[in-house]
């Protein structure tokens, strides 16, 4: 049924519009200072309708945090831990990651909120943690390979991965979002330094 299909399309689009505005507002003003009414207004729909798509404010926040994670995971995890030239692979992904974080300032504000109040948002925190653990594990393998090949000095590869994620998030936090993208690129060598490239 084509009619029903187009209806479904419309609803999907509406849902996404709400979600996008919610991410924006939750990021900017935090959970409590973002009211359903504001989200509705920003989305151009009645606030009653928000509840058609998200049964509670809590759920809206949950979706705002979790749903974008898939795409981000795709980009973040898109590397080969068994790459021939681990250091080159590292350089490549560091550039990609930094570009990504520079773009994602809005969403990452959400992430920071969740991490900062892990007891309040424990479910979302767990999910982010799972991503974090998976990412660090995969990255640590690449690092180890780099060490085996003598491209990197010997360090604990998991701590190296942790440090890397911390740096990325820390940079994001430090108002560097006012920097334009070129400036973000300045941080690439420092991120690489973390891994201890042999010189």
Partner DNA sequence: CATGAATGAGTATTCATTCAT
Partner DNA sequence: CATGAATGAATACTCATTCAT
Q: Which residues bind DNA (CB under 7 A)?
A: 3, 6-7, 10-11, 14, 33-37, 45-49, 51-53, 55-58
- Identified binder of a copy of itself from the candidate list 59, 67, 82, 118, rule CB under 8 A: 118
- Per-position x/- string for 11-30, each x denoting binding to a copy of itself as judged by CB under 8 A, each - no binding: -----------------xxx
- Identified binder of a copy of itself from the candidate list 117, 127, 138, 141, rule CB under 8 A: 117
181 forms part of the interface with a copy of itself (CB under 8 A): no
81 forms part of the interface with a copy of itself (CB under 8 A): no
186 forms part of the interface with a copy of itself (CB under 8 A): yes
Tell me the DSSP string of the chain: -HHHHHHHHHHHHHHHHHHHHHHHHHHHHTTTT--HHHHHHHHTS-HHHHHHH-SSHHHHHHHHHHTTHHHHHHHHT-S-TT-SSHHHHHHHHHHHHHHHHHHTHHHHHHHHHHHHTTTTTHHHHHHHHHHHHHHHHHHHHHHHHHHHTTSB----HHHHHHHHHHHHHHHHHTTGGGS-HHHHHTTHHHHHHHT-B--
Choose the stretch contacting a copy of itself; rule: CB under 8 A; options: 2-10, 43-51, 69-77, 111-119. Answer: 111-119
Binding site for a copy of itself (CB under 8 A): 28-33, 109, 112-113, 115-120, 129, 132, 153, 155-156, 159-160, 162-163, 165-171, 173-176, 186-187, 189-191, 193-196, 198-199
């Amino acid at each position: 049924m084509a009619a029903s299909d187009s209806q479904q399309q419309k609803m999907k689009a509406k849902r996404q519009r709400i979600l996008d505005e919610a991410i924006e507002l939750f990021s900017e003003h935090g959970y409590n200072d973002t009211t359903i009414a504001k989200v509705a207004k920003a989305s151009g729909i009645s606030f009653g309708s928000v509840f058609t798509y998200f049964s509670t404010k809590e759920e809206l926040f949950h979706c705002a945090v979790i749903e974008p994670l898939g795409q981000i995971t795709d980009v973040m995890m898109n590397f080969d831990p068994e790459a021939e030239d681990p250091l080159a692979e590292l350089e490549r992904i560091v550039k990609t990651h930094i570009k990504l974080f520079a773009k994602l300032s809005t969403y990452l504000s959400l992430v920071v909120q969740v991490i900062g109040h892990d007891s309040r948002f424990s479910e979302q925190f767990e999910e982010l943690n799972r991503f974090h653990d998976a990412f660090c594990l995969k990255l640590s393998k690449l690092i180890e390979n780099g060490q085996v090949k003598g491209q990197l000095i010997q360090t604990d590869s998991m701590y190296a991965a942790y440090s890397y994620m911390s740096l990325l998030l820390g940079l994001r936090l430090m108002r560097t979002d006012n920097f334009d993208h070129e400036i973000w690129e300045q941080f690439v060598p420092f991120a690489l330094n973390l891994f201890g490239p042999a010189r």
